[in-house]
Amino acid sequence: MDGAIAAVIRDNAFIRGSYVDEFERQFADAVDVKHCVSCANGTDALYLAMAALKVEPGDEVITTAHSWISTSAMITHAGARVVFADTDGATFTIDPAAIEAAITPRTVGIVPVHLYGQPADMDAIMAIARRHKLWVVEDCAQAHLARYKGQQVGTFGAAATYSFYPGKNLGAMGDAGAIVTNDSALAEHMTMLARHGGLIKHQHRIEGINSRLDGIQAAILSAKLPHLTVWTKARQDAAKVYDANLNQIENVVVPSVAAERTHVYHLYTIKHSRRDALAAHLGANGIQTAINYPTALPFLAAYSRLKHRPEQFPNAHGDQGQILSLPMFAEITRDQQFEVIDLIRAF
């Protein structure tokens, strides 16, 4: 990484340039798509994808009730009305039956989120999309290299978005993001949107925004990308240790992985009926935890205008008070894991 940063400084390649172009090629290859359009962050990636799909006022886009706010906020900023669908109660991912129930004549698209690193039920989601002639944009911000029935996430819909926020499985040293697609025309349009509306400087074919991946972040990501497969396997091995030991502890619900889905464990999120007390116990003993996310999207103040009720999203509402993310990173040692496990058992 030091060498990568030094090379960018030496070549004065801070905005666009060869380091960005090279990372786009490398990441497209890594996730089995034809085109990668880099941008400033994962939030912009969502906006750019939907703007390129020509979302219009009055359109409705369905997404999950439990995610980070970028997913839903960018639906609004792209010009559509966000419609939430409940999660399935087991995998934390969007429930296809809830998607079907939320479709109206104004629905134009679906944004499933592969939350915590587990793929959503893409066969069911794509079948619904085909039946109702809807586009699908996959939010893969937490699911680098995850697979559904052997196929990479991000390759099912019209486009898919990625975040390279520093805490992600593949993280930069600052904000960074990308959109991937197999549609060449869509890729070109998203590229123009991200670069002030043109492919060549001063030749603005449309009105765009300024959302560019800078050269230093691209070089850092290129340095890290060859290690991602090994890091992913390390996370999965660590998850097996947690699963085998936490499964035996009363009131602890370990992550449920659906058949033929490959979880990459961006987060290892358990459920516990006394979540807050457990988190305090772990914190008092030097173990940092997190709650991702403590308020399901329909119940945030940002969406009070929609007047949602808990009974509309029973799974997302129930999960928000029980979820707890335990320490999970590629380099975690078994001793560190058993310290966590023993403290949970003691609690």
- The per-residue pLDDT for range 302-331, each reduced to its tens digit, is 999 999 999 999 999 999 999 999 999 999
The one-letter code for the residue type at 64 is T
| pLDDT(51) > 90 | yes
CB 140 within 8 A of CB 114: yes
How much of the chain exceeds pLDDT 70, in percent?
Answer: 100
| pLDDT(168) > 90 | yes
Q: Which helix (H) or strand (E) holds 73?
A: helix 69-78
What phi-psi label fits residue 170: left (phi over 0), alpha (psi between -120 and 50 degrees) or beta? beta
pLDDT in tens, 194-230: 999 999 989 999 999 999 999 999 999 999 999 999 9
Q: Which helix (H) or strand (E) holds 179?
A: strand 177-181
pLDDT at 75: 98
pLDDT at 171: 98
pLDDT in tens, 120-155: 999 999 999 999 999 999 999 999 999 999 999 999
Rounded to an integer, the average pLDDT of 40-49 is 98
Cα separation of 236 and 299, whole Å?
A: 32
> Which two tokens mark 139?
């939010």
pLDDT at 101: 98
Give the confidence band of 16 by pLDDT, cuts at 50, 70, 90.
Answer: confident
pLDDT at 289: 98
